[in-house]
A and B are shown apart, each in its own frame.
Chain A
């Protein structure tokens, strides 16, 4: 319920219980004194509550003020009970309604108990173990089939950029506001593209005509994905375009030596 914190005050240390809030403290005091939550019992712990208040003087103002607000309510209850009640005729049968603080504390207590209950549920559920996933490989993204080696990739990169240059110089280039490109964004786009079919051509990932920055970023992301063993890069003999294949798709569609 509450943590103990040791504070150093001058020459000696004071062990001070830290409560979630004024209601937590109040509830603790009620439980400690084995009382029920009623107006009368609350007045009994008024003194102890005040003791605690003096201890938290140096906590932040907001916390302290919330404790003081509740203390004010306590004093209000106490003063009401101390004042003599002038009996009013006829209306005596009506039971006096409880102070708001009493109701609030009761409700708080209820939820505190419920919190413990659902906490137990979570603990219990965490102990129910499902079967480990045996329908997939132990490590899903384990294989990097370097169908394309580093030299191939570099050749592709240089050639693609050269093609782009040729295209750009052939027409008037209009300046467009540059879109924000980020690794995670491109990563998501690629994953989305290959999710359904299991593979995609590299050029499909670009806008047409490809923007140079986008091309570079996408290329970097693809290298990263390959490094993380999420995809395999393949190139058909004699073809320029690179095929990006989702790792899990490889076994079904391609007869690839995955160890390569």
Chain B
């Protein structure tokens, strides 16, 4: 048996038993495998489970075994699961603007939405879906907002690159001429 084969088995077992998502470094320190090997095995496992009722899912940089969403109506008869947070259209719109345009000021968000967003921003801050990244070098030093890891967790995204339809928003990011979005990711 090859090393990879054994490693994959071990990691599969760990994922199966772990109730919380595990980062590559967690698994690496647990098993003593090199992060590159862990990462390789995880990729394999993600592929292996792609067509199954169980999936290996990467969320916010950590891996977890979950049931696949298609079978949810059936397994929900087995046990009561907590329903996800439901977000109002106003929250979702504001959140999507922040997600795609971060770091972004309140003013920029209001310009796109055409309405005051104070209440919505405060709610999102309370929910820890957005955070303050710093202050823009503009008159009044406005606060810059960005999304948090909790945002990725809530939306089941591995990173901001997984946001839907990235090509759709090309024109937006070019406009503001910002740098790599993933750099601004903060907890």
Contacts and interface: CB of A to CB of B under 8 A. Distances in A.
Contact of A119 (B57, B72, B92, B163): B92
Given A110-B172, A114-B168, A118-B164, A128 B92 contact: no
A130 interface: yes
A20 B156 contact: no
Interface size class of B (residues with CB under 8 A): 35 or more
Contacts of B69: 124-125, 127-128
A165 B157 CA distance: 59
A23 B114 contact: yes
B114 A108 contact: yes
Closest 5 CB pairs between A and B? A126-B84, A125-B156, A21-B115, A127-B72, A133-B19
Contacts, number: 124
A62 interface: yes
The DSSP consensus for interface residues of chain B is: mixed
A50 interface: no
Contacts of A127: 69, 72, 84
A118 B155 contact: yes
Contacts of B95: 115, 118
Contacts of A1: 89
Given A119-B92, A128-B66, A131-B16, A20 B113 contact: yes
Nearest to A23: B114
Given A66-B114, A118-B92, A135-B19, A124 B156 contact: yes
Given A110-B172, A115-B95, 7 more contacts: A20-B93, A104-B111, A111-B100, A114-B168, A114-B169, A133-B20, A135-B17
Contacts of B163: 114, 118
Contact of B19 (A113, A120, A128, A134): A134
A130 B64 contact: yes
A66 to B, nearest CB: 6
A107 interface: yes
B179 interface: no
Contacts of A132: 19, 79
A122 B150 CA distance: 12
Contacts of A119: 87, 92
Contacts of B168: 110, 113-114
Interface string A238-258: 000000000000000000000
Interface string B85-117: 101011011011101100000000001111110
Interface string A8-52: 000000000000111110000000000000000000000000000
Interface in B52-93: 55, 57, 59, 64-69, 72, 75, 79, 81, 83-85, 87, 89-90, 92-93
